[in-house]
Chains A and B, each alone.
Chain A
Amino acid sequence: MRVQVKAFGALTDILEKEFYMTAVDTEELLTVLSHQHVALAHRKLLIAVNNRIINDPVVLQENDIVALMPPYSGG
């Protein structure tokens, strides 16, 4: 499925802020990105699909929005 990926925080030093890619599920999406960007591998990050934080891999639908977020540092 073709999804929109949005990168936040320190991940924007590694990835484009917004881009499209194709993946069956969030696991595949992360695997592909980690292969393309070594700096991404083993990084602690939170994932939200359509603005909902996920804890386990989910199957992606066409046009889903996947947010990749490092630990928060507001305040």
Chain B
Amino acid sequence: MNKEKNDIFMQGPIPPERIATSIATHGRKYDIGAHSIFLGQIRADQVDGKTVRAIDYSVNRELALSKMAEIRQAVFDKYPLACMHVYHSEGLVQVGEICFFVFTSSAHRRVAIDACEELVERIKKEMPIWGKEIFEDDTHQWKTNR
């Protein structure tokens, strides 16, 4: 898979090590005083007596990457951020694994927290991503966002 500049998609779950490495990398940026991190995790929802065991994510890649570029620019224009990183899973992610990682950094906490929240909300609402919830008996239903 070619890794485009704004490609946020990662095949399968986001490894916790990836998050740790990302934090460590920012240790060399001395203008940063605050990080805000959001992590989405697959929940074992119960529906009519059946339990979700995984979510299979599919995306409209081209549309998603141009939308992400637009969101990224808008958030950078609005907040004085030092850094912004976004990763979202594509394909199968099991219960308990991480599927969504948003990481913002700034000089002071308010900017990082607000920008992180805005990114999470906009990505969930505006990005052409779909989650297929797979139950333990291999039947499925399509996830709907609240």
Q: Which residues of A contact B (CB under 8 A)?
A: 6, 8-10, 12-13, 46, 48, 51, 53, 67, 69-75
Contact = CB atoms under 8 A, between A and B. Distances in A.
22 contacts: A6-B60, A9-B130, A10-B130, A10-B142, A51-B62, A51-B66, A67-B60, A67-B63, A67-B128, A69-B128, A72-B125, A72-B127, A72-B128, A72-B130, A73-B144, A73-B145, A74-B59, A74-B123, A74-B128, A74-B130, A74-B145, A75-B123
Interface in B77-100: 88, 99-100
A75 B63 contact: no
Nearest to A75: B124
Contacts, number: 65
Nearest to A71: B144
List the 9 closest A-B pairs by CB distance, nearest first. A74-B129, A9-B130, A75-B124, A10-B142, A73-B143, A73-B131, A73-B145, A74-B127, A75-B100
B16 interface: no
Question: Which of A6, A51, A74 has the most chain B CB atoms inside 10 A of its CB?
Answer: A74
B127 A8 contact: no
Contacts of B131: 73-74
A8 B144 CA distance: 14
B57 interface: yes
B22 interface: no
A72 B129 contact: yes
B56 to A, nearest CB: 11
Nearest to B129: A74
B11 interface: no
